[in-house]
Amino acid sequence: MRTLIAVVLAFAALPLVPVPADAVGTMAEWNDVASRLVRCNIQYPRDPRARDIPAGGVVVVVKFDVGADGYVGPISAVRSSGIAVFDEAALVAVKLSSPLPPPPVPDNRTVSVQVPIRFMPPPVPFLASPIPRSPCRLRFRR
């Protein structure tokens, strides 16, 4: 337990790693950065219904629009995991990621994005210890 707390505290002390705006020159690079930012904000649900998932995990595919300013528009689950708490956690991860880097498209168009999000069973007995937030500290800064 002490080791887990030490690891969580070590990650919490890490500085935010900014993603410079010029790091996303092509659409493929932008998709990669946007997907990583969304995945960094995934929080495993603490709901008791989340403890009995298959060993391979569950996948939620979310779809959202990103405007020219990087702000996320309407968000929806294109493919549900079948478990509502995971679907909601995936939508929250997208909301927490806004704003994203502006997409590299001409004429300030809106870009539609689909990101698959996989939830794996927790590595420790469920609710035996706090489930730490993702150690990823990636954030977009303008």
pLDDT the model gives residue 11: 37
90 in Cβ contact with 42 (< 8 Å): yes
pLDDT the model gives residue 125: 54
Q: Which residue has the tokens 């549900």?
A: 80
Kindly report, residue by residue over 43-69, the tens digit of the pLDDT: 888 887 777 788 888 999 999 999 988
Q: How far is 36 from 55, CA to CA, in rounded Å?
A: 23
pLDDT the model gives residue 5: 40
Q: How far is 21 from 27, CA to CA, in rounded Å?
A: 13
Angle at 66 between CA 81 and CA 57, to 5 degrees: 20
pLDDT the model gives residue 56: 83
Q: How far is 21 from 69, CA to CA, in rounded Å?
A: 11
Kindly report, residue by residue over 98-133, the tens digit of the pLDDT: 899 999 888 778 899 999 999 887 665 555 545 545
Is the pLDDT score of 40 beyond 80?
yes
Once rounded to an integer, what is the mean pLDDT over residues 19-40? 78
Whether the model clears a pTM of 0.95, i.e. scores above it, the answer is no
Q: How far is 8 from 133, CA to CA, in rounded Å?
A: 8
Tokens of 134: 């993702």
